[in-house]
Amino acid sequence: MITAVKKYKTLRTNGEIKEYIYYHCTHRKDNQDFRCDQRKVVRSDSFERQIEEAIESMEIMPEFFDWAK
């Protein structure tokens, strides 16, 4: 549902080549369960921060933790 695109930019100041990764929705028509309203791309650092925040908000139930051990 989400895809990554690598872009490269050559800096004018020193000619260094920077790599950037952007994420965006694939806008696939065959999956009705997933709707992506986002039209812009998201840089990898922002996307990773959003994932970290989502994971940090989750809690593992003690019963599952004990079962998983």
26-66 pLDDT per residue, tens: 766 666 666 676 667 888 888 889 889 999 999 999 999 99
Q: Which tens digits make up the pLDDT trace of 12-27?
A: 999 999 999 988 887 6
Give the Å distances, CA to CA, from 28 to 21, 33, 36, 69: 21, 11, 9, 38
Q: Name the burial class of residue 25, with classes exposed (0-12), middle (13-18) and buried (19+) by CB atoms within 10 angstroms of its CB.
A: middle
Beta bridge partners of 21: 6
How open is the CA angle 38-3-24, to the nearest 5 degrees?
A: 20
